[in-house]
């Protein structure tokens, strides 16, 4: 009988192997290398199951997933750690200086993306004969609406962009996660209860309470952690303070009905900028960065491998994979439609068309979307949504991630020295 510990150890082994192979032979960004490893594992297991149907692979994977049925607490914990790790690298001053643009893109943009993607996938699912209810299609839209800050920041490290555009892309990718998770939570609640009689006013009030309450909670928690770190100079204790900040802030937010992701993001930005500058020694900063970098790498690797395992147990239904392929292409179209007009209006850069294209092409999805997808409750169309999410993640990271530098060079060529 498998336990979570057994699966965790197996996934860590695979993550270590894929990380080693990528470093030795592929030399790709870590996120892309890990995704290729997870994809190779999934394809290999599916191919084995096709060659030897019903023998070993699919029953084994199904047994593990059924026995473990990953608790929401585990995935929420992964989500909170991922968001905090990303927030640590974002400057509060950069966010504040571009707050108008970032807030518009991360709120209105996410809402537009959710409903456009949901409506489009509702039509796609209907065309392939799956007939997924509209409310669950909107849940899918919310899952793939937020971009992944870790994948985006890893891509931005390789390219040269104007400082303002880099700040907008990084800030939007961070804040839209909190907003996207909030929209996802509200929509899942509606879908799981089987009711659609929630009014726009009620939805708006819930959204405002959770978002504003989460932000205030994050500010309070981050400030307490900052004061504690400022009073000492002991890197191991300060690492524990940061760890406690994430878990306690997220727990309080959940218990009080506020947005845990937004609270964690705000707390992370405060610690990563203000506390880093005024409360940490160079030694502490180095240890904090290393600790949260490792946490992020491990969690991303495990989430990619987990959804790869989930895909193995999807029944060989061509309709599901057709819908997943359509979702991958639609994700790019919907990203452009949701941020394009907004970017043209609110972005102050002179090259607005270039900024719009870069905002669209840098919309990579990764661990955040995977964590949300895996947290879905069991229902009739869960596997179809998982496959669609996997298709979007594959497309955005492998296609957009690997070509982002070329697209950036076209609109913002590097100056020759």
pLDDT digits (tens, 9 = 90+) for 345-382: 776 655 577 888 888 998 999 888 888 888 888 888 88
Tokens of 118: 């949901």
Q: What is the mean pLDDT of residues 270-275?
A: 89
Name residue, tokens 């993001």: 265
Is a pLDDT exceeding 90 seen at residue 388?
yes
| Mean pLDDT, residues 77-85 taken together | 86
Instruction: Kindly tell me if the per-residue pLDDT of 224 is higher than 80.
Output: yes
Inter-residue contact 348 to 356 (CB < 8 Å): no
In this predicted structure, what is the pLDDT of residue 245? 96
What's the whole-number mean pLDDT along residues 316-342?
90
- Residue 36, pLDDT score: 81
pLDDT tens-digit series, residues 206-216: 888 888 999 99
- Residue 417's pLDDT is 44
Residue 267 pLDDT > 90: yes
Question: What's the whole-number mean pLDDT along residues 327-340?
Answer: 94
Q: Are 387 and 46 in contact (CB under 8 A)?
A: no
CATH of domain 71-411: 1.20.1530.20
> What's the pLDDT band for 236 if we cut at 50, 70, 90?
very high
120 — pLDDT class (breaks 50, 70, 90): very high
Q: Which among 208, 145, 63, 59 is positioned nearest to 337, based on CA atoms?
A: 145
- The answer to whether residue 160 scores a pLDDT higher than 60 is yes
* pLDDT at residue 66, rounded to an integer: 54
Cβ atoms of 379 and 136 within 8 Å: the answer is: yes
The residue-averaged pLDDT of 10-18 equals 85
Give the per-residue pLDDT at 28: 81
In terms of DSSP H, where are the helices of 279-317? 282-312
Q: Which tens digits make up the pLDDT trace of 164-195?
A: 788 888 888 888 888 888 899 889 988 887 66
- Would you state the pLDDT for residue 210? 87
Q: If you ran DSSP here, which 8-state letter would residue 378 be given?
A: P
- Of 281, 252, 246, the C-alpha closest to 266 is 246
Q: Specify the residue for token string 């690797």.
A: 301
Average pLDDT in the 99-123 region?
93
Weakest-pLDDT range from 58-72, 128-142, 175-189: 58-72
Q: Which residues of 3-35 are buried (b: 16+ CB within 10 A; e: fewer)?
A: eeeebeeebeebbeebbeebeeeeebbbbbbbb
Q: What is the mean pLDDT of residues 113-138?
A: 95
* Mean pLDDT value across the chain: 83
Average pLDDT of the residues in 55-77: 58
């Amino acid at each position: 009988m498998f336990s979570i510990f057994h699966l965790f150890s197996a996934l860590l082994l695979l993550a270590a192997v894929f990380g080693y192979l990528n470093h030795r032979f592929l030399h790709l960004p870590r996120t892309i290398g890990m995704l290729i490893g997870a994809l190779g594992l999934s394809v290999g297991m599916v191919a084995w199951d096709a060659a030897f149907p019903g023998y070993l692979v699919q029953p084994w994977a199904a047994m593990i997933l059924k026995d473990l049925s990953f608790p929401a607490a585990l995935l929420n914990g992964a989500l909170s750690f991922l968001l905090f790790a990303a927030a640590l690298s974002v400057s509060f001053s950069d966010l504040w200086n571009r707050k108008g643009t970032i807030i518009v893109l991360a709120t209105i943009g996410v809402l537009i993306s959710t409903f456009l993607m949901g409506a489009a996938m509702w039509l796609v699912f209907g065309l392939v004969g799956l007939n997924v209810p509209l409310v669950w299609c909107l849940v899918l839209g919310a899952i793939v609406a937020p971009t992944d800050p870790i994948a985006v920041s890893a891509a931005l490290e390789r390219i040269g962009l104007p400082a303002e555009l880099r700040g907008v892309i990084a800030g939007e990718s961070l804040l839209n996660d909190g907003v996207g998770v909030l929209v996802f939570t509200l929509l899942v609640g509606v879908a799981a209860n089987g009711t659609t009689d929630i009014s726009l006013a009620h939805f708006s009030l819930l959204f405002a309470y959770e978002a504003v309450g989460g932000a205030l909670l994050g500010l309070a928690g981050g400030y307490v952690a900052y004061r504690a770190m400022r009073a000492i100079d002991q890197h191991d204790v300060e690492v524990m303070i940061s760890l406690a900040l994430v878990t306690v802030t997220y727990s309080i937010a959940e218990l009080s009905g506020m947005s845990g992701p937004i609270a964690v993001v705000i707390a992370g930005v405060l610690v990563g900028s203000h506390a880093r500058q005024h409360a940490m020694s160079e030694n502490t900063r180095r240890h904090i960065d290393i600790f949260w970098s490792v946490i992020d790498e491990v969690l991303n690797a495990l989430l990619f491998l987990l959804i790869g395992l989930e895909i193995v147990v999807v029944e060989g239904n061509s309709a599901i994979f057709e819908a997943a392929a359509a979702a991958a292409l639609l994700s790019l179209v919907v990203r452009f439609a949701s941020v394009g007009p907004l970017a043209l209006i609110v972005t102050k850069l002179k090259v607005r068309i270039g900024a719009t294209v870069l905002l669209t092409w840098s919309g990579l999805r990764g661990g955040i979307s995977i964590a949300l997808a895996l947290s879905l409750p069991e229902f009739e169309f869960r596997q179809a949504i998982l496959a669609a999410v996997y298709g979007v993640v594959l497309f955005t990271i492998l296609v957009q991630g690997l070509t982002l530098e070329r697209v950036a060079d076209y609109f913002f060529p590097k100056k020759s020295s």
